[in-house]
Amino acid sequence: MFCSHDEGLGTAIASRRPLVSTSRVGYPAPWLFGGCVTAERIQEILQQQLSGCVAIVENPERDGVHFQARVMCPGFVGKTRVQQHQLVYGALGDLMHEAIHALALRTYTPDQWEG
């Protein structure tokens, strides 16, 4: 899967151009890391990995590397904000080190979400 703004690996190989590329904002092209991650995929991963989680993920820059997420999880109760964020980062695993350049994150317990 390639980001819509990247020409893709096949074109680079066919034209014999170097495979090193950057996205339109100057960060490494996401397809270099095995494909472009989408906001929908991040949301799906969080909801699968964090029991009872509700995640709303957006890619406001539409660049495939800068995301915003609001995450509610019952597992956040009694945890500090740092611990909550660590749970989210852990759920995303290697995506946080490879395909996601930035994640603006807001976490909520169920009571905070309802309030």
**34-65 confidence digits (pLDDT tens):** 457 999 999 999 999 999 999 999 999 999 89
State yes or no: pLDDT of 16 exceeds 50. no
**59-108 confidence digits (pLDDT tens):** 999 998 999 999 999 999 999 999 999 999 999 999 998 889 999 999 99
Q: Which residue has tokens 């969080």? A: 46
Please give the domain boundaries of the chain with CATH numbers for all domains: 37-114 (3.30.300.90)
Distance CA 8, CA 83 (A): 38
> What pLDDT sits at residue 3?
54
> What pLDDT sits at residue 36?
76
64 touches 22 (CB < 8 A): no
Which residues are registered as beta bridge partners of 107? 71
